[in-house]
Structure 1
Amino acid sequence: MAFRALGGRPVYRDKSHNLVDAMAAIFNENERLHICIAPEGTRSNVAKLKTGFYYIALKANVPLIPVGFDWPRKLIIIGSPYTLPASMQLIWCLFMRFSLRFMVSRKTG
């Protein structure tokens, strides 16, 4: 409910919608726009990250800003912007270095 109230829109993954081009066009139509994309593509643990966030930023000519959740301290940490074009491998390395600070196990239940 809050997601839509804040202007959020779901991504329908049942078929290809050329989301990279659509998002790049939305960036180009707006003077100011912030979006949040989980590179995992899901709320579950994954073995491989999705790459759409990188291609959206590249095509829209906007920086990538990593965000981390420090669960023990209940903080959201916003990192420094990464300006593109940088290789996908470099972005992965920078994101992983940033993310290592937040990789702690959370107790459930």
Structure 2
Amino acid sequence: MSKPRLKLHVRILSEEQIAFGPGKAGLLEAIQRTGSISQAAKSMNMSYRRAWQLVDTMNQCFQSALVETQTGGTHGGGAVVTEFGQVILKKFRAMEQQAAKALEHDFQELSSYLKSPQ
């Protein structure tokens, strides 16, 4: 018997582009872990092309790059989340927590009206 839970999707839009959201935050975290867009994509069951598109959108929407890449050589290429990217990621995760906290009371009240699972 699982109890009700609140699931928010915070997204930051720039024009019609999603500049940042949960998927892009997860991708940045995966890039930090793996040091590679390709490996980050694999770890998220995402194509490299899709991951690259998300990185490109983030880099174009913000004043400074969130991810920097190095081309392959004898030791291969790589990617790094910039200091600016780390700031954006940290602020975004804080926004998610603040939004959930702000809605907690209303969520508890509303969820009390849900039917109990059979």
- Structure with greater proportional strand content: 2
Q: Same fold (TM over 0.5)?
A: no
Q: TM-score, normalised by structure 2?
A: 0.26
- Structure with greater proportional helix content: 2
User: Does 1 or 2 have the higher relative contact order (CA < 8 Å, sep 6+)?
Assistant: 2
Larger Rg: 2
Q: TM-score, normalised by structure 1?
A: 0.27
